[in-house]
Amino acid sequence: MSEVRKGYVRPIDIKHGQVDMAHGSGGRAMAQLIEELFAKYLGNEYLAQGDDGALLPAQGEGRLVMATDSHVVSPLFFPGGDIGCLSVHGTINDVAMMGAKPLWLSAGFILEEGFKLADLARIVQSMAAAAKEAGVPVVTGDTKVVERGKGDGVFITTTGVGVVAPGRELSGRYAKPGDVILVSGTLGDHGMAIMAERESLGFESPIVSDTAALHGLIETMRASGADIHVLRDPTRGGLATTLNEIAKQSGVGMMLQEKDLPVTPAVNAACEFLGLDPLYVANEGKLVAICAEPDAKKLLAAMQGHPLGAAAAIVGRVHEDAHHFVQMTTGFGGKRIVDWLSGEQLPRIC
């Protein structure tokens, strides 16, 4: 009399367990980690295909946009977010800044031996929540494990694919003299949140990262009918570096008004304290828009009507300048250059 034993595999101990080398071996331990952790939270019809790659529906009209971003932020958890949601928002925003509707993401994990599975679960859950809220599923992934001391907990690389509707054209090359420069909200929140957490500064009013997916805000902006020439997210290097990139690409100069730059009092004070300039501090949920002058007010109103653009402001103008200088009228009444970031202000910010 034969008896078929009921299959039973002891579940991974997510509460107390740690990543070990077998989790990256390609064998059963890895399959189990994928099933009980990644698939459990990130699951969707494409990921469920379980093949080497995701088979995705072809898109009709328009062009595809693809963007990739690696995340090495330290610490992994910070006020307002963690490396998980950051890795989703960062790549969605890169796709969205091209004027595309983000469709799918891939995620590659490099895990360090000994990393707590409980922390990994928190990160994956945060990714899943961010992907769900954004409506952009993670459709394929990869996991590798490196020996203890060869990584720093977890690094995540995400790649995003989106589609641009025909006729929509955005590029850092399209800023024109006379155009108006807008930002979608306060500057420097992400960078200072990381910095305060890393240095255990314990400011009385905690600074919270602004990490957010911006494609919804962009859709609202597009719906306003404003003639937008450039969109860009001022991440590493902050607004100053982003505007310098655009000025160089478009072959123009810019003039900012310091008094119009939105910065929260907490970020301002923290920057003052640490000798940093909010213009160079990273953002993860803000965008810069450059649009035709007659549409600026309309665009501003549209941005301010969206929760992620409530503190949007017009901060400057584009002009002709063969030297492509970004300049600023200071609140003090003088003039100065707002230069490229020099060196590394805050390493491992995203």
Partner 1 sequence: MKYIDEFRDGDVAQTLAAAIRAEADPARSYHFMEFCGGHTHAISRYGVSDLLPANVKMIHGPGCPVCVLPIGRVDQAIRLALEQGVTLCTYGDCLRVPASDGLSLMKAKAKGGDIRMVYSSADAVTLAQKNPDKQVVFFAIGFETTTPPTAVAIKHAAALGLKNFSVLCCHVLTPSAISSILESPEVRQWGTVPLDGFIGPAHVSTIIGSRPYEFFAEEYRKPVVIAGFEPLDVMQAIKMLIRQVNEGRAEVENEFARAVSRDGNLKAQQLVAEVFEMRKHFEWRGLNILPYSALRIRSQFAEFDAEKRFPLGYASVPDHKACECGAILRGVKRPQDCKIFGTVCTPENPVGSCMVSSEGACAAHYTYGRYKDV
Query: Which residues bind to partner 1, rule: CB under 8 A?
Result: 199, 259, 265, 268-269, 272, 323, 325, 327, 330-337, 339, 342-343
Cα angle value 221/349/113 (rounded, 5°): 125
User: CA–CA separation, 287 vs 306, rounded Å?
Assistant: 13
Residue 120 vs 254, nearer CB to partner 1:
254
Judge contact between 200 and 215, C-beta under 8 A: no
Long-range CB pairs of 24-28 (<8 Å, 24+ gap) are: 24/111, 24/143, 24/144, 24/145, 24/146, 25/145
What is the separation of C-alpha 17 from the centre of its chain, rounded to a whole number of angstroms?
30
Residue 81 vs 191, nearer CB to partner 1:
191
CB 342 → partner 1: shortest distance, Å?
A: 4
User: CA–CA separation, 20 vs 29, rounded Å?
Assistant: 9
Residue 68 structure tokens: 């990739």
CB 199 → partner 1: shortest distance, Å?
A: 8
Residue 240 vs 289, nearer CB to partner 1:
240
CB 323 → partner 1: shortest distance, Å?
A: 6
Residue 323: half-sphere exposure toward Cβ, Cα within 13 Å:
7
CB 330 → partner 1: shortest distance, Å?
A: 5
Residue 96 vs 240, nearer CB to partner 1:
240
Residue 138 vs 240, nearer CB to partner 1:
240
Residue 307 vs 333, nearer CB to partner 1:
333
CB 253 → partner 1: shortest distance, Å?
A: 9
CB 191 → partner 1: shortest distance, Å?
A: 16
Q: Please give the span between the terminal C-alpha atoms of the chain, in angstroms, as a whole number.
A: 61
Q: What's at 149, amino acid-wise?
A: G
